[in-house]
Amino acid sequence: MATLDTKLVNVLGDRTAKVLYKNFGYMTIADLLRHYPRRYMVRGELTDIQTLQEGDEVTILAQIHSAVNRPLHGRKGSIFEVVVTDGSAKLSLTFFNQAWREKELRVGRQGLFAGKVGSFNGKRQLAHPEYELIPDGNDVDSAVNKFAGKYLPVYSATSKLPSWKIAQCLELVIDALDEVEDYLPEEIKSKHGYPALHEALVQVHNPADLDHADRARERLTFDEAFLLQLLLARRRIEIQQLDAVARPIRRGGLLENFDSELPFELTAGQKKVSSEIENDLSAPHPMHRLLQGEVGSGKTIVALRAMLAVVDSGGQAALLAPTEVLASQHVRTFEKLLGPLAQGGTLDAAENSTRITLITGSQNAASRRESLALAGSGDAGIIIGTHALLNESVQFQDLGLIVIDEQHRFGVEQRDLLKTKASIPPHVLVMTATPIPRTVAMTIFGDLDISTLRELPLGRQPITTHVIPALEKPHHVERAWERIREEVAQGRQAYVVAPRIVAGTDDDADMDFLFGEETPTLTSVEELGPQLHSGPLSGLRVAPMHGKLSNEVKDQTMRAFAQGEIDVLISTTVIEVGVDVPNATVMVIMDADRFGVSQLHQLRGRVGRGTSPGLCLLVTNAVTESPARIRLDAVAVSQDGFELSRIDLEQRREGDVLGSSQSGARSHLKLLKVLRDEPLIELARLDALSIVEKDFSLKEYPRLADELEILEQDSSSQFIDKG
């Protein structure tokens, strides 16, 4: 008899095991059992052929309506055409030179047919489909008949391995399988009324009825969420048990000074999050917190206040930014906000002031040496940098806090690398640019405490967004340039965003997220700049901005723009995150359909950051009612980043929802859909917490401990931050 760990080869033989390995990478029975059906077909209920779309890989249940073999025109060979039907619509199946199939593909028989829907002479067809005929009535009851059940599981298949072959393999495996021991704690199982594990595995593949299938599936989906939440909950507790230096707020320090000079009042949300962070920092265990917030909600100040608290306590704080543009901007902002407080070591210094230093890949040797010395000696309390911060040569005197800005640009490894630069585990604050739905956060960042900033600072004007269909209303594009001129005439500034740097190339250096196919006609910065400069924006101070410019030029350009010396920045998405020039009020985004929903929301967040209303114009060639237009309309009507990120994520495949650094999650999460299964994830999280709170090492639950270890050992579970 076989167990979950038994190799497939022992049950299915060499050849089949090889095919399963080649096509799906499966080696053990457990692997194959987790190849769950995508849906079930009911025996006798034929697939609705009308709904099949060209290009789909399909498995259909249909009845043979006609079968004709005829010679090819003017060529050797014959074509055997079988027409199948669901009772109304028809689909043709074609086979070349396979007249012998006439014997089995007889009119009236039902079967499963699998292939890619193509078209020929305007008719949909499957060329050379794989098929499996349903046995004729008299052998239905035979015990070994794989179609004995009423429900036929449909698996995601490959051309080498059609759905029914997978079903056959599963049947053999399930027949050979010993009773599988359950790892789910009895109290949880009975609370939710879930079937036992063995029962669930059998019923999901070969259900007695759809109700059983649903319950099996729910239990197995719950398992995925539960195990993951358990893992995360345990990591969180492990981190909480590490020792760190407590950094309680000090009276009369930099932070207090800074607060008293702050030109505005913190929002209620900023105050709340700040006090959460201050609580964390005053504990002798590392803070491990995610700050996610709406675009423009003022995350930077919150981070700076945390950094100052740590400096006040004698430590240093490092801020890791995704781009040089952003890193230098942070230095400028901090220096401006801190004034003499950041002039340590100079004549202008305030009492107990500190210094800020910048570490980037592009700085020259002398300035780098100086920065490294400042960081190493502890003279710089605040160190801001790009990836260069991770370099071996960068040392700190006493690194007490790490802030990761715009976390989606960084992998977990980079965060961990920075942590190794502290002698005692540092406090960590991670900030995301893009707000994400709660369950996504709980799944990706479940080992972090989460703070959320929804509210924007007072006095912020709304951003009005319009979609401009360039093909239907070209004069509206003209009007967009006029709007820029009007704003500039009032002393304001503008951004024009284009998807490409150079025309007609594959150069997407600055692009994160492309929809659809390559189109050579996309607007590029290098074309658009001169066009606008000599045309609709003539006389304005226009400058290009993109990732291919030298860091020096980028920095100069951003400085000049921030100081109002440039009116219009023509840019790629390098300005997408973080860039903060409150005087900019208009943004025109070319080929807007090329960007993701959240990305557009981020981009748009560059305007309306001051006290004047913002305007964002989304120029597109996409036609009314197309999916692209619907997406753009959604961005135009909503300013809620959380809502938009949900729309964005709903359009991605599950693996992409969790992001590339979470790729390992994909192999474990077969059934769980983070957005769809929100309530289940909430339940699983509560259950997981209640278990680890009373029994952290799972002494009472040895099977569960084993299962968790499998998940942990699975190198793929590296996707989760290890604290």
- Enumerate binding residues for ligand ADP (CB under 6 A): 264-267, 270, 293, 295-301, 457, 578, 580, 582, 609
296 binds, among Mg ion, ligand ADP, none (CB under 5 to 8 A by kind): ligand ADP
Comparison of 544 and 578: residue with beta carbon closer to ligand ADP: 578
Q: Residue 92 or residue 323: which is nearer to Mg ion going by CB?
A: 323
380 binds, among ligand ADP, Mg ion, none (CB under 5 to 8 A by kind): none
Instruction: Name the token pair of 310.
Output: 């740590």
CA distances for 102 relative to 59, 69, 155, angstroms: 21, 8, 27
**Closer to ligand ADP at the Cβ: 265 or 706?**
265
Identify whether the C-beta of residue 360 lies closer than 8 Å to the C-beta of residue 551.
yes
Using the minimum distance from each CB to ligand ADP, give the nearer residue, 185 or 578: 578
CB of 349 to ligand ADP, least distance (A): 23
Q: Burial, 280: exposed, middle or buried (Cβ in 10 Å; 0-12, 13-18, 19+)?
A: buried
Q: How far is the CB of 470 from ligand ADP (least distance, A)?
A: 29
Amino acid at 554: K
CA distances from 461 to 615, 618, 641 (A): 10, 19, 16
CA–CA separation, 445 vs 303, rounded Å? Answer: 19
* Nearer CB in complex with Mg ion: 153/578: 578
Angstrom distances, CA of residue 318 to CA of 289, 403, 702: 15, 6, 42
- In the region spanning residues 572 to 591, those forming contacts with Mg ion, defined by CB under 5 A, are 578
Report in angstroms how near the CB of residue 267 gets to ligand ADP at its nearest: 5
DSSP result, 57-72: EEEEEEEEEEEEEEEP
Q: How far apart are CB 299 and ligand ADP at their closest, in Å?
A: 4
Residue whose tokens read 């980028």: 554
* Measured distance CA(245)–CA(230) in Å, rounded: 27
270 binds, among Mg ion, ligand ADP, none (CB under 5 to 8 A by kind): ligand ADP
Shortest spacing between CB 385 and Mg ion, in angstroms: 16
Q: Which is nearer to ligand ADP, 266 or 675 (CB)?
A: 266
Instruction: Show the CA angle centred on residue 128, arms to residues 127 and 131, nearest 5°.
Output: 120
What token pair was written down for 16?
């089949």
Comparing CB distances to ligand ADP, the nearer of 212 and 606 is: 606
**Hey, what are 183's tokens?**
């790892």
Least distance (Å) between residue 332 CB and Mg ion: 14
What is the residue type of 363?
Q
266 binds, among Mg ion, ligand ADP, none (CB under 5 to 8 A by kind): ligand ADP
Q: Closest approach of Cβ 643 to ligand ADP, in Å?
A: 17
Q: Which does 675 bind (CB under 5 to 8 A by kind): Mg ion, ligand ADP, none?
A: none
86 — phi, psi (to 5°)? -105, 10
Closest to Mg ion by CB, 162 vs 578, is 578
* Smallest gap from residue 332 Cβ to ligand ADP (A): 11
Stretch that binds Mg ion, among 275-283, 494-502, 504-512, 571-579 (CB under 5 A): 571-579
* Residue nearest Mg ion, CB atom distance: 578
Per-residue x/- track, 456-495, Mg ion (CB under 5 A):
----------------------------------------
Residue 448 CA, chain-centre distance (Å), reads 17
**Shortest reach from residue 646's CB to ligand ADP, in Å:** 19
Query: First vs last Cα of the chain: how many Å apart?
Result: 41
Q: Which residue number places its CB atom closest to ligand ADP?
A: 298
- The nearer residue to Mg ion, 111 or 614, going by C-beta atoms, is 614
Could you give the count of Cα atoms lying within 13 Å of 698 in the half-sphere of its Cβ? 19
Q: Rounded to the nearest whole angstrom, what is the least distance from the CB of residue 699 to ligand ADP in the complex?
A: 44
Query: What is the chain's length?
Result: 723
Alpha carbons 677 and 639: distance in angstroms, whole number: 25
Residue among 298 and 385 whose Cβ is closer to ligand ADP: 298
**Both tokens assigned to 364:** 């020259």
For residue 63, which phi and psi values (nearest 5 degrees)? -115, 140
Residue 267 binds which of Mg ion, ligand ADP, none (CB < 5-8 A, kind-dependent): ligand ADP
Out of ligand ADP, Mg ion, none, which partner does residue 264 contact, by CB within 5 to 8 A per kind?
ligand ADP
Give the shortest CB-230-to-ligand ADP separation in angstroms: 33
Work out what residue 457 binds among Mg ion, ligand ADP, none; the CB cut-off runs from 5 to 8 Å by kind.
ligand ADP
* Spatial distance between the Cα atoms of 689 and 388, rounded to a whole number of angstroms: 38
Query: Counting Cβ atoms within 10 Å, is residue 136 exposed (0-12), middle (13-18) or buried (19+)?
Result: exposed
Question: CA angle, corner 519, sides to 515 and 523, nearest 5?
Answer: 95
Indicate the residue among 244 and 304 with the shorter CB distance to Mg ion.
304
154 or 301, CB closer to ligand ADP?
A: 301
298 binding Mg ion? (CB under 5 A):
no
Q: Mind giving me the DSSP string for 360-422? A: -TTS-HHHHHHHHHHHHHT-EEEEEESGGGGSTT---S-EEEEEESSGGGS-HHHHHHHHTTS
Closest approach, Cβ 402 to ligand ADP, in A, equals 17
Residues that bind Mg ion (CB under 5 A): 578
